[in-house]
Amino acid sequence: MIDHVSIPVSNIKLSASFYERVLAPLGYLRIADRESMVGFGKKFPEFWLNARPDMVPVPAGTGCHICLRTRSKEAVSAFYKAALTHGGRGDGEPGERQGEMTSYYGAFILDPDGNKIEAAAFPAAN
């Protein structure tokens, strides 16, 4: 099981503000602040931003892909809308998708540095 993930960002203040708005619909709160790191999570920091002031934006089609699970299609859509409203770019509009094991509802965004983040809502297990 994965405990947490970290992504590099060129401007920690800008990215923290961006992710505060984008992750809120998924239930993530800003719960850890350090000079060069900010952590978001539900009970503990699960998603970290690490300041890398000298980094250049990640070229399109490269870098990592992180998927954050949420409970509803509405949360996925709100995540996507918040990203577009606050300086992110769309990389896959909210909609039904076919995963490896099941279909799901998801959306993909690129943050101001080009990091690819997905929000996904999976059907309830029978």
pLDDT digits (tens, 9 = 90+) for 57-82: 888 777 789 999 999 999 999 999 99
Assigned domain for 18 exists? yes
Q: What does 56-118 look like in DSSP terms, one character per residue?
A: PPPPTT-S-EEEEEES-HHHHHHHHHHHHHTT-EEEEEEEEEE-SSSEEEEEEEE-TT--EEE
Here the tokens at position 48 are 């970290």
Q: What integer pLDDT is reported at residue 40 of this predicted model?
A: 98
Domain that holds residue 94: 5-53+64-121
SS3 44: coil
- Count of the separate structural domains present in the chain: 1
CATH number of 78's domain: 3.10.180.10
Q: Which residue has the tokens 């770019």?
A: 89
In a domain, 58, yes or no: no
Predicted local confidence at residue 59, as pLDDT: 83
Is position 126 within any domain?
no
Q: Within 10 A of 36 (CB to CB), how many other CB atoms are there?
A: 11
Residue numbers in the chain where pLDDT is lower than 70: 125-126
pTM of the entire predicted model: 0.92
